[in-house]
Amino acid sequence: MGIDSLIGGTIWDEYSNKVTNLMNNPQNMGEITEEDAEKMNAKLIVADFGAESCGDAVRLYWAVDPKTDTILESKFKSFGCGTAIASSDTMAELCRGKTVDEAVKITNIDVEFAMRDHADTPAVPPQKMHCSVMAYDVIKKAAAQYKGVDINSFEQEVIVCECARISLSTLQEVIRINDLTTVEQITDYTKAGAFCKSCIRTGGHEIKDVYLVDLLDEYEKEKLSSKASLGNAGAITGDFATMTIVQRIKAVDKVVDENIRQMLVMDGGDMEILDIKENGENFDIYIRYLGSCSGCASSSTGTLFAIENILKEKLSDKIRVLPL
């Protein structure tokens, strides 16, 4: 019985030709022995990594030139499904010829992308994306072994979505800047939650410390807190410097609505707040002019100065307004 008859035509169509070919005919499967490494004047590295979620495992072999840290040869053995074999084979291929530091920068996204037949068509079904994550993790394990460091030293940020390698700080920033309220919106902006979906909420095949729904709840609470800090009577309370980014944006929007926007609309224009960033002791507010304001000569002189002066008076004398 053929593999396609086992998994069915519909699922089979979700695999690229490169993946199906590598499942049956891997190019880099095998091992590197101590004798092989000695012939290349190289150091042998053997690293193992297993995925608790599915029971798959991979063993990575590197022959590394100790003088240049270059990976002269890269092979693997995989104990798992066909997708794990294809991902591991591609991973081994991508490592060869790179330095150890360069190899660590190979992500699971790179592995999956290299297996695509077409740049805009995923190589594997979403539920199999974790196989390329395993390939990414075993690279870190091999690099840590070669360098004699802890594997966690290669991870600088908390990763919420392992499949798309999206960090906690990135998700928090995207949610706030774009005022996202649903998991679907997060996925559209970042690809987090698009693959195995374990990062969305509890109940997936991996246990997380933080889920996407938690970040949405956190942001909603932050918005409610921001509204409370602005006061029911419409007066802005609190020090601009101690506000959260969301509170600052809300405060600036309120001042613009009450003191600036009507002036711009009367002339057929408008403006929007794009971002607020701390720059030393200053608060740089990035804005975009809309309508007739975008082409007005005074948008960079008189109008800009008026907007900046009002915001300084109402919120903070450290504010600078920068049109984009």
Q: Which amino acid is at 207?
A: I
- Looking at CATH, the fold of the domain delimited by 3-154 is given as Sufe protein. Chain: A (3.90.1010)
Q: Which residues of 281-304 are buried (b: 16+ CB within 10 A; e: fewer)?
A: eebebebebeeebeebeebeeebb
Q: Active-site residue 54, yes or no?
A: yes
Closest CA to 129 of 187, 190, 85, 87: 87
Find the catalytic residue in 95, 131, 196, 293.
Answer: 131
pLDDT, residue 188, reads: 82
Question: Are 61 and 75 in contact, with CB atoms under 8 Å apart?
Answer: yes
The SS3 of residue 294 is helix
CATH number of the structural domain 240-323: 3.30.300.130
120-171 pLDDT, tens digit each:
888 888 767 777 777 878 999 999 999 999 887 766 668 888 777 788 887 8
231-245 pLDDT, tens digit each:
543 445 568 888 888
Run means of pLDDT, 10 residues per run, the chain, 324 residues: 43 85 95 97 94 75 97 93 91 96 86 89 78 82 92 74 79 81 87 85 85 92 69 56 85 87 81 87 89 75 85 90 87
Instruction: Report domain extents, the chain.
Output: 3-154, 159-224, 240-323
Q: What is the length of the chain?
A: 324
Find the catalytic residue in 54, 95, 196, 293.
Answer: 54
Q: Which ranges of the chain does DSSP label H, i.e. alpha helix?
A: 3-7, 9-12, 17-24, 34-39, 82-95, 100-104, 108-114, 130-147, 168-178, 183-190, 212-230, 245-259, 261-266, 302-314
pLDDT, residue 71, reads: 98
Give the H/E segment covering residue 27: none
Question: Are 92 and 74 in contact, with CB atoms under 8 Å apart?
Answer: yes
